[in-house]
Amino acid sequence: MLSNDSQLPASPPRSNAVLAAWTLCQRELVRFVRQRNRVFGALGQPIIFWLLFSEGLKARDLGYRYFFPGTLVMILLFTAIFATISIIEDRREGFLQTVLVAPVARWAMVLGKILGGSLIALVQALAFLALGWLTLGISMSVGGLFAVTLLMLIIALALTSLGFVIAWRMDSTQGFHAIMSVFLLPMWLLSGSFFPAGEKGILGWIVRLNPLTYGVSALRGLLHYTGEVPEATPIASVGMSWMVTCLFALAMFALATWIAKTRTTGDLL
Amino acid sequence: MSAAPAIYVEHLVHRYGRRLAVRDLTLRIDRGEVFTFLGPNGSGKTTLFRVLSTLIPQQAGRVRILNEDLSADARRIRERIGVVFQAPSVDGKLTVAENLKHQGHLYGLAGSRLRERSGEMLARLGLSDRGNDRVETLSGGLRRRVELAKAMLHRPQLLLLDEPSTGLDPGARSDLWRYLNEVRERDGVTVVLTTHLLDEAERADRIGIMHQGELVALDTPDALRATVGGDAITIRTNEPQRLAEAIGTQHNCLCMVVDGGVRLEQPDGHQWIPRLAETFGDQIDSITVGKPTLEDVFIDRTGHQFWDGQNEQQETANDE
């Protein structure tokens, strides 16, 4: 009979953080594609919103072009939410446990989830952008398209990370929906997507302090149209908007990595 | 064969808030053993499992797994253990093969090595023809097999299972145990599991019986049964205390009341039936004699029946 040691490998395989992050990201993408209703839900609502708001408020000089960047961000937000609700599902379904006892660094697990969610969000936003290009006469150079894609990815990373932070401590999706209505949707509404920025008073301040506002502003700056340009006073310079957005993403990701190290009783099934 | 034990635990204590789930636990599990933690719900075995599987950090005491200190380097331990949780941990939307692929990646397996190992695991667990099926289409027994495949993919030296027979029909349970014995015989893997099923515990090399966070018995099934002084005689009656005292006095033996029934342990239990019926017949509702079982061992050590209302309450408190 062979002894233990000659049968087993001399040392176990060394786990690789990048591979782990990539595999978890890939899992998100595959799961998304296999759930048709998620695909339609995530795109359908923003499109309807866009149509309704634009048609409804056409008379007041706010039209389809005005609401377009905000709708793009709404798509990013919604997909980010769906992606992070899946954390709660993962926990309920037990999948999360196997990841937690695997020899994987926590940040790799967080990155995999967030990257997966962000990529899904980005693809949907790009699909909507294509729709806008067909219907609104958006003119953009290749460089411009690259910039828009990059910017949307950064916003997606920020929002998915934020969703992660919220979802990690939650045990039920009902709780998450409550947070969504009370916090995330107002965050979007007060980001210059809807109310023009530069208002006076408390609303104005919230808009100014909301990091998402800068993302929307930067996005607006990148979308050029043939013909008339919608009037919207930018909240800050282009450089400033990009910087705030990037910092927002970094801060949220750091927060997500930190919170993933804490345990909740919800981990335990 | 290396002398270092697979698991060594010394004075382990674990609390949830103020509630003590594991009290001062010390034990040693040798390499190549099949060891079972037996206990009702609320006994602390699940908490112990969570600590040993590195799911939750240890709070006090010393734990060494495969000769590595748990509090120092959980990662090195994680690389060499396989864990099967009670709740299903497979991704239903993915196929069997995809589940194995992602698992492999998490453990540093990739490319051809991963493919080879996956193929091997699928074959060993009889899943080769279901590789491309989504896990949600599989029966409970087959899903368990996928979990075993996932857990053993990276060839761990220690396999931890929490209530592995949950939701399995007898056929599937049989298959499971066949596999567990196989990995022990063929690969020298140490198998440690938790269970509340008395008959499942019988299959282990050694059993650790847990009750309210403490290890109340630790030995082979046979040795444990031998500690029960003879057959177990149980009597159901309206006034157990009175009857117990009467029998104790009459026959000069130890007679206890356990959870509302009168109980005594005597060799040649069957001879006691006519003896007791003759004297106390009118007070006896029912009388049972049985060879000692693990439940009798449990009752012996704890004074409680294995299935106890009290234990259920413990479990709910645990979830908070």
3-class secondary structure, B111:
helix
Tokens describing residue A236: 């800050």
B119 CB-side CA count, 13 A: 6
Which residues of chain B have a CB within 8 Å of the CB of A100? Answer: 55
pLDDT band at A233 (very low <50, low <70, confident <90, very high): low
- Of all residues in chain B, the one with the smallest CA distance to A30 is B94
Q: Confidence class of residue A198 from pLDDT cuts 50, 70 and 90?
A: low
Contact A166, A84 (CB under 8 A): yes
A37 interfaces chain B, CB cutoff of 8 Å: no
Cross-chain Cβ contact A7/B187 below 8 Å: yes
Q: How many A-B residue pairs are in contact by the CB < 8 A criterion?
A: 119
Task: Out of A83-92, A123-132, A168-177, A223-232, give the one with best mean pLDDT.
Answer: A123-132
Contact B207/B218 with Cβ under 8 angstroms? yes
Residues of chain B with C-beta less than 8 angstroms from the C-beta of A104: 106
Asked if A15 lies within 8 A of B79 by C-beta distance, the reply is yes
Per-residue confidence (pLDDT) for residue B10, from 0 to 100: 92
Predicted pLDDT of residue B73: 83
Residue A131 lies in a domain: yes
Say what angle helices A211-222 and A238-260 make with each other, to 10 degrees.
130
User: How confident is the model at residue A11, as a pLDDT?
Assistant: 60
A120, pLDDT greater than 80: yes
Q: For each of the domains in chain B, give its residue range(s) and CATH number, in order of start.
A: 7-224 (3.40.50.300), 228-319 (3.30.70)
- Specify the pLDDT at position A237: 80
**Across the strands, what pairs with B211?**
B214
State the average pLDDT for chain B. Answer: 88
Q: Is residue A91 part of a domain?
A: yes
Comparing A59 with A93, the larger pLDDT belongs to A93
Longest dimension (CA), chain A: 86
Residue B87: partners with Cβ closer than 8 Å, 6 or more residues away: A93, A94, A97, A269
Residue A226 resides in a domain: yes
pLDDT at A62: 62
Residue A84 lies in a domain: yes
pLDDT of residue A227: 61
pLDDT averaged over consecutive 10-residue blocks of chain B (320 residues)? 81 89 93 94 90 90 92 90 91 93 94 94 92 92 92 95 90 91 93 92 93 92 86 88 89 83 85 88 88 85 72 42
- The model carries a pTM of 0.83
Chain A residues whose beta carbon lies within 8 Å of the beta carbon of residue B70: none
Burial class (CB in 10 A: 0-12, 13-18, 19+), B276: buried
Locate B319 and state its tokens: 């979830």
CA distance linking residue B55 with residue A96, whole number of Å: 11
Interface test with B, best of A18, A95, A96, A113 (most B CBs within 10 A): A95
Check A13 against B87: CB less than 8 A apart: no
Angle subtended at Cα B291 by Cα B285 and Cα B297, rounded to the nearest 5 degrees: 95
Which of A6, A26, A97, A267 to mutate against chain B (most B CBs within 10 Å)? A97
**A268 within domain boundaries:** no
In this prediction, residue B152 carries a pLDDT of 95
Identify the band that residue A71 occupies on the pLDDT scale cut at 50, 70 and 90.
confident
pLDDT of residue B105: 95
> What pLDDT shows up at residue A9?
46
- Positive or negative torsion for Cα A245, A82, A175, A255: negative
- Cα B107–chain centre separation: 26
Q: What is the dihedral of CA B270, B272, B275, B276, to 10 degrees?
A: -120
Residue A232 pLDDT > 80: no
Contacts of B90 in chain A (CB under 8 A): 94-95
- Contact flag B155-A9 (C-beta cutoff 8 Å): yes
How close, in Å, is residue A136 to chain B by CA atoms?
38
Residues of chain B with Cβ-Cβ distance to A3 below 8 Å are: 1, 188
pLDDT of residue A268: 52
Minimal Cα distance from B51: which residue of A? A101
Residue A4's closest chain B neighbor by CA?
A: B188
What's the rounded mean pLDDT across residues A127-154?
86
pLDDT at A5 over 60: no
Is B320 within 8 Å of B309 (Cβ atoms)? no
Quick check: is A27 in a domain? yes
Across the beta sheet with B19-29, what order do the strands follow? B19-29, B7-16, B60-65, B68-69
Number of domains comprising chain A? 1
A1 in any annotated domain: no
User: When comparing pLDDT for A2 and B292, which is higher?
Assistant: B292
Q: Which long-range contacts (CB under 8 A, 24 or more apart) does B168-174 make?
A: B168/B140, B168/B141, B168/B144, B169/B140, B169/B141, B171/B141, B172/B140, B172/B141, B172/B144, B173/B200
pLDDT above 70: percentage of residues in chain B: 95
List residues bridging with B12 in a β-sheet: B25
Chain B: residue nearest A19 by CA?
Answer: B105
Kind of pairing between the strands at B34-38 and B206-211: parallel
Confidence of residue A1 (pLDDT cuts 50, 70, 90): very low
Task: Find chain A residues with C-beta within 8 A of B87's C-beta.
Answer: 93-94, 97, 269
- The neighbouring-strand residues paired with B231 are B266
Bridging pattern class, strands B214-219 and B158-162: unpaired
How many of the other CB atoms lie within 10 Å of CB of B278?
Answer: 8
CB neighbour burial string for B229-247, b if at least 16 within 10 angstroms, e if fewer = eebbbbbebeebeebbebb
Neighbours of A106 (CB within 10 A): 17
Task: Considering only residues A197 and A218, tell me which one the structure prediction assigns the higher pLDDT.
Answer: A218
Task: Supply the pLDDT for residue A229.
Answer: 59
Residue A4 lies in a domain: no
In chain A, which residues have their Cβ closer than 8 Å to the Cβ of B156? 12
Its domain, for residue A125, covers: 16-263
Of A12, A22, A98, the CB nearest to B79: A12
Mean pLDDT score across all residues of chain A: 81
What is the 8-class DSSP label of residue B305? -
pLDDT (tens digit, 9 = 90+) per residue, A38-66?
767 767 777 787 787 777 766 655 667 77
